[in-house]
Amino acid sequence: MPDKVSTVSPAPANGKDALRKIPDPCVVVIFGASGDLTARKLMPALFSLACEGLLPEHFAVVGVARSELDDDSFRQKVKEGIEKFSRLKPDECSAWPKFAEDLHYHQAAYDDPAGYMSLGKLLAKIDKKVGAGCNCLFYLSTPPLLYPVIVEQLGKVGLAQQTGDNWRRIIIEKPFGYDLPSAIELNRQVHEVFEESQVYRIDHYLGKETVQNLLVFRFANAIFEPLWNRNYIDHVQIMVSEDVGLGSRAGYYDTAGVMRDMVQNHLLQLFTLTAMEPPAEFNATSLRDEKVKVLKAVRPIRPEEVGKYTIRAQYRSYRDEKGVAPGTETATYTAIKLYIDNWRWRNVPFYLRSGKALPDKVTEISVQFRHVPHLMFPLAPGDQLPPNTLSLCLQPNEGIQLSFETKIPGAGMRTRSVDMTFLYEQDFGKNTLPDAYERLILDALQGDAALFTRGDEIELAWRIVDPILQGWQSKHAPSLIFYESGTWGPSKAEEFIKADGREWIYGCGMPQDGK
């Protein structure tokens, strides 16, 4: 029976929107094509781009893996993943027949030179058929230990080499290194084959529409940027919480923990976007230069200071998870206080926290402004008005919330906090937010690295994280504390911020009592 095809067709590539730039003809080669990331994220993202007319007419995908598949079985596997995970389905978009026709599979061991020679021949054959202009984007969707192997083999057979006007690029998934020395070594290995301009280190958080909106909010509006400094802001909180536990990731997570899994990449990315100076232009060089300046200005937390500036915790049933080492002290929750030693942020604390097995999956950035310098309204002795807070809700309830004081109707001058709220769903409709991988893959195809991480940025992030991890493994380590699954973390986290006279902000609609 033929596939059901609706009247929804790909958007025209030559539409009137001047910002709709279509990439050059190309082939995307995905290493690890039989894996979970490819099925859940990469192929659904590419298919959605095809449905929206954002892929070039001359385009193909080659999946590379060790699994025994052929083109037809690979296409069926891809279709099943798209039907399950894509925001646009094959029976909703007329792009599927051509998209499926341009899917190819290449079975090879990742360390086998012959596999890369035959891959080169396959790419030449596809290029001749579809007219891809010898442009190629390699995507490493494999375990990190295979990154150097694949990069080296690509270099040996000349597949990384750019000639004339054609381009070769590579996307590398996180984690990029295990610590600073391994990140430096991986950068060296990659740069032996690829120029930095060819390398796209992906952090899917930067592809989220709500994260990019942080840049628009700060730099396309004149309201808040004059207040975005130590004169008006008391402190900033950045939270990335997960409602799931370990799942099937014991092999990775029990050696990584929350610092390597979340802080070194996701939280520090949000941190730099929140704190950076306005770039002169929105391009890869200007944007990433400003992010690097922030990381360079972070006041280091020395190993002997970790008890003062960090806490570490583990959800109580973690040690019962399958594959976890007995008695492990891997942290699944952390709270960290950072300072940036520059003019804008001098002595303004940034509180970063993240944890697993919490009540909800939430990402938010909350800015608390200073108290008014003089209050003319009468209050009971010891009372003060709540400070204004601005919360950027990145997920869920995507939007922005501003809390401020207003007068309660009636006699006297009593006040109450109220909210101004913007929600994406209300203004733009449901299901309008594209998946992060759609934006990032399209950017890589277009050669725009603005939302990808540069090599020096990776190393600077590890320079912040490594001393904390060293401190956690030393005599200066704060005691590992435990918290119950389904709570907002250990009570020690409340004590941690209350010691500074502050409280955790839950600006995206979560209950503050954690119940």
Whether 513 is in a domain gets the answer: no
Distance, in Å, from the CA atom of 87 to the CA atom of 42, rounded to the nearest integer, reads 12
Considering Cα of 262, then 267, then 272, then 273, what sign does the dihedral take? positive
Asked if residue 58 lies in contact with residue 132, where contact means CB atoms within 8 angstroms, the answer is yes
Whether 7 is in a domain gets the answer: no
Chunked into runs of 10 residues, the chain (515 residues) has average pLDDT values of: 38 44 93 95 95 93 95 95 91 91 96 96 90 88 96 96 91 94 97 97 90 91 93 97 86 91 95 96 94 98 97 95 92 98 97 96 95 73 80 90 81 75 83 86 95 96 97 95 96 96 83 46
Task: Give the structural domain span for 355.
Answer: 206-370+434-498
Q: Report how many domains make up the chain.
A: 2
Distance, in Å, from the CA atom of 372 to the CA atom of 405, rounded to the nearest integer, reads 11
In this structure, the answer to whether residues 163 and 220 fall within a common structural domain is no
**Peptide bond preceding 381: is omega within 30 degrees of 0, i.e. cis?**
no
Distance, in Å, from the CA atom of 222 to the CA atom of 474, rounded to the nearest integer, reads 47
- Amino acid identity for residue 315 in this structure: Y
- Cα atoms found within 13 Å of the Cα of residue 41, Cβ hemisphere only: 17
* pLDDT for res 20: 64
Whether 340 is in a domain gets the answer: yes
Whether 384 is in a domain gets the answer: no
DSSP bridge partners of 350: 236, 338
In this structure, the answer to whether residues 31 and 104 fall within a common structural domain is yes
Q: Which of 104, 204, 266, 476 is the catalytic position?
A: 266
User: Of the candidates 120, 149, 173, which is a domain's last residue?
Assistant: 173
Whether 375 is in a domain gets the answer: no
DSSP bridge partners of 170: 138, 199
For the stretch 389-448, pLDDT in tens is 999 999 888 899 998 778 778 777 777 777 888 888 888 877 677 889 999 999 999 999
In this structure, the answer to whether residues 164 and 219 fall within a common structural domain is no
> In this structure, what token pair is assigned to residue 153?
């083999």
Nearest to 189 by CA among 153, 219, 161, 163: 153
Whether 291 is in a domain gets the answer: yes
- Cα atoms found within 13 Å of the Cα of residue 497, Cβ hemisphere only: 22
pTM over 0.85: yes
* pLDDT for res 381: 67
What secondary structure letter does DSSP report for 361? -
* pLDDT for res 3: 40
Which residues have CB under 8 Å from 178's CB, separation 6+? 255, 256, 260
Q: How many CB atoms lie within 10 A of CB 364?
A: 25
What secondary structure letter does DSSP report for 258? H
In this structure, the answer to whether residues 100 and 219 fall within a common structural domain is no
**Which helix (H) or strand (E) covers residue 116, if one does?**
helix 113-130
Active site residue 104: no
* pLDDT for res 510: 56
Pairing of strands 310-315, 481-483: parallel
